[in-house]
Amino acid sequence: MINDAESQRRKKLYHSSCLAFMFAFNIDASRDDGSFGRLINDEHRRPNCRMKKIDVNGNPHLCLFALNDIKEGEEITYDYGGEDCPWRT
């Protein structure tokens, strides 16, 4: 897996040869699968977590890390990214 900036760089590099395809992955977290990821909310101004890709035995995992202490009962948030989210004001 590569980040978006590297993807854009490679697209420009490969464009002339047309020998590569880039895919974006979107994860639908609307169904309850037993994990807590779907309960984490968007907060672009003051998130209390950040997302990081961790490789475990060659498999990528998206993991959240607290940016500060999170109190019991406090909402867990991170910046979903993108400026065109319709719920942002």
Question: Hey, where are the domains in the chain?
Answer: 27-78
| pLDDT at residue 47, rounded to an integer | 92
Reading the block at residue 6, the tokens are 């590297």
Reported as half-sphere exposure (CB side, CA atoms, 13 A), residue 35 has a value of 11
d(CA 73, CA 84): 29
Q: What's the burial of 32, exposed, middle or buried (CB within 10 Å: 0-12/13-18/19+)?
A: exposed
Reading the block at residue 58, the tokens are 């060659």
> For 28-87, what is each residue's pLDDT tens digit?
666 767 777 777 888 888 999 998 888 899 888 888 899 999 999 999 998 887 776 676
